[in-house]
A and B are shown apart, each in its own frame.
Chain A
């Protein structure tokens, strides 16, 4: 921790203990990072940045004041500003906050190879090697290979006496090939990231080879005819499915002050088949959605969202936990120090079911196998997600390849259409992430096993 940050922390400890409010917290960070981006035979950018950030959040008389700044020596000035903002207006309906324990702890990212001790030349050459693989096929028009690392000293202080520090190191790569044949242009990408060192990005030649091969294979794939299909989702896509089709719905800020939604989201409601279990767990170390503590000073927990097909829990910030008189879950997250924490997922997944992958395929007479993902979105009633590619399945055998399979469904009915759940769960995170409330991309991990879903609407021409 540098001197300026240390001085701000010492001043911050005084300020949050001054006791003229219901609750106060200060978040401070100081960090630096490197980014390398290659495209085709060119270097798009090799950049370095350092940054400092601070914020103060104060709850006084049921009203929130928030202040952000990048001059850490001014923490006292902005603390007063946040207190002032909280007192300007007396709200008719007051905000509250669930109490937390006073925690004092220091967390450090475990690294096999500290990327701060790796030369920029080695980082560049590693990425350049992947980029050469991404280019190594006849129809590759261009590529995009990105390496990114970042380290920060993050400090959380609050008026309950918590003093948490996190020596956070995040690192990852994103690899994309764009194949072209005639008028068809077909990109494909993969990304890996996590909390750790340079080792996360090493030995990824196989991933780069998969990217270039898939992009080229997709050139000959057709778009799928629109309609309703029985679909097998691969583990990556089943993770996106549960993130979009249910995960956001489990975020309590969509529910806590909406009487209609509270009726809809009553615990015990049947959401899926009895084999369906869905978990959010921010305590799984190293992967993208890991947090040692959330941005409200709450430790992460393994939260069961669906147990045996029934709604069993939801994700909370301190404010939503207070509103709903439920336990905090450690899901108050902000994309950076300068943003207010809101309810967010961490590592969200479908738990393993009873079936092998082969059993699931054997059960499909006619349908689609959808794999990998490009993106997804929900409005908490309907959702879409896009498989990068897939195959027609007849009598259990994958056949003709399709590209860009855009699936859509209803959050209250599609989960019930899950007919088989596999036993081969995998977890996926990358340099991208989840967006909500103007905060994105927030690192999250998603995952699941192969699953079969009946009656999924797929967009496209007849």
Chain B
């Protein structure tokens, strides 16, 4: 496919790169406690970026019969682009193979039986509960080529399982929670079922609280949501545009010295790990925050040139989009004590697992406010029930500059490896 495009690159093109992406997946969906549908998906497409007289154009297609036309279209759009003088890489190295042959052991019947078993267990334990489940196995390939001589490709594999449970109580109160995991090959998912059951069990009792300042223990997934508001400021795009609160702060200590955050494209077992980035730049682990100090901003070739820094191997793209800087895997260094010990130290506090509306406000400077979808009251070191109809708010940058504690245990949630985090004083409106 790539060769067909290469032949059509117009004369006068200063540089070009192109990406061809293809994938096949077989999602299984359970809806309302029963098998609902089996699916087979196939898709592929090609995108071409080329630079003429310093300006860049882009076009894409997933229609095989249009392949020969996209380079010409990209060339016709280049005159609108900004001047870009970066150089495409010529020394791309693939650091590992993200394809696990075990993906081929995916057994549909076995997966369906495992789902039915999980649903049986939860419906027996919580009569009236509604369970949705999804299992997906997919494989794909990415082929990248450019005018500097790079012509490299890899296959990848992906397996995911998810459970969403909804229990409506007799008073109309609704408990909805979910768990999900992803791997490069099929893995047993019984721990998810146990996690769902525990969260529902703890939510059966509702406790009233007053507005005020509370210690808040964030589980990894909830911490990841809030940390995302901070980390977005480490992308070269808002830094260059002057709207990141991190702009001009490299080397400054803005956070607790206990906080170290890395962008790690090589987290073991993560299906989101990549052997090189979407422009062919070699990838490596880098510090975003090192012992509380602002360290590295992530950049693709374009924004690295604009900021006058070296590209960090963080370009991401689909076939239908231009590359842009994106985090690969967020890894937060662990603390010294298990989260159970942190929980037991709380006299009266909150453990929020899920939020509603987080991020749907102006979060550029770290301000946030969200309703707590699923959160628990902690009294004398143990969870005593669910808190409802209340909101959490604050500035996450300031909160992470305070006396935080991180757990020694971590969980991989999607592309991130995260600990539990204890924030000593957070505003709760009830």
Contacts and interface: CB of A to CB of B under 8 A. Distances in A.
A374 B369 CA distance: 13
Contacts of A47: 57-60, 77, 321-322
Given A47-B59, A408-B391, A258 B166 contact: yes
B69 to A, nearest CB: 8
Given A66-B38, A258-B168, A457-B389, A226 B427 contact: yes
A386 B108 contact: no
A130 to B, nearest CB: 15
A377 B63 contact: no
Given A68-B41, A70-B43, A88-B38, A382 B356 contact: yes
Interface in A8-50: 30, 36, 39-40, 42-43, 45-50
Nearest to A218: B362
A381 B206 CA distance: 14
A65 B62 contact: no
A152 to B, nearest CB: 12
Contacts of B364: 178, 185, 187
Interface stretch (B28-36, B94-102, B288-296): B28-36
Interface in B39-71: 39-45, 57-66
B370 interface: yes
A260 B128 contact: yes
A142 B247 CA distance: 14
Contact of B40 (A48, A85, A92, A223): A85
B373 interface: yes
B253 interface: no
A459 interface: yes
Contacts of B359: 375
Nearest to A82: B40
A126 to B, nearest CB: 13
Contacts of B43: 68-70, 338
A95 B36 contact: yes
Contacts of A186: 362
A377 B243 contact: no
Nearest to B362: A404
A380 interface: yes
Contacts of A30: 63
- Main secondary structure on chain A at its contact with chain B? strand
Given A47-B59, A51-B61, A68-B41, A376 B360 contact: yes
Interface string A431-452: 0000000000000000000000
A170 B323 CA distance: 25
A66 B37 CA distance: 7
B147 interface: no
Contact of A69 (B42, B365, B429): B42
B173 interface: yes
Contact of B370 (A39, A46, A459): A459
A379 B373 contact: yes
Nearest to B321: A47
A267 interface: no
A462 B357 contact: no
Contacts of A404: 361-362, 367, 369
B34 A380 contact: no
Contact of B130 (A78, A257, A457): A257
A47 B61 CA distance: 11
Interface in B345-397: 356-357, 359-362, 364-365, 367, 369-371, 373, 388-394
Interface in A175-189: 178, 180, 183-187
Nearest to B57: A46
A457 B369 CA distance: 12
B326 to A, nearest CB: 15
B241 A374 contact: no
Contacts of A166: none
B209 interface: no
B149 interface: no
B174 A39 contact: no
Interface of A: 4, 30, 36, 39-40, 42-43, 45-53, 63-71, 78, 81-82, 85-86, 88-89, 91-93, 95, 120, 124, 141-142, 178, 180, 183-187, 223, 226-227, 253, 256-261, 264, 338, 340, 374-386, 403-404, 406, 408, 410, 412, 457-462
Given A93-B34, A257-B31, A375-B357, 13 more contacts: A46-B81, A48-B73, A70-B44, A85-B39, A86-B38, A89-B109, A91-B35, A141-B242, A253-B31, A382-B373, A383-B371, A403-B362, A406-B370
6 contacts: A45-B58, A46-B81, A71-B64, A340-B37, A403-B362, A404-B367
Q: Which 10 pairs from chain A and chain B are nearest by CB? A: A384-B357, A375-B360, A459-B369, A459-B391, A64-B37, A260-B168, A257-B32, A85-B38, A226-B429, A381-B174
Interface of B: 31-45, 57-66, 73-74, 76-77, 80-82, 108-109, 112, 128, 130, 166, 168-170, 172-174, 176, 211, 241-243, 245, 320-322, 356-357, 359-362, 364-365, 367, 369-371, 373, 388-394, 427, 429
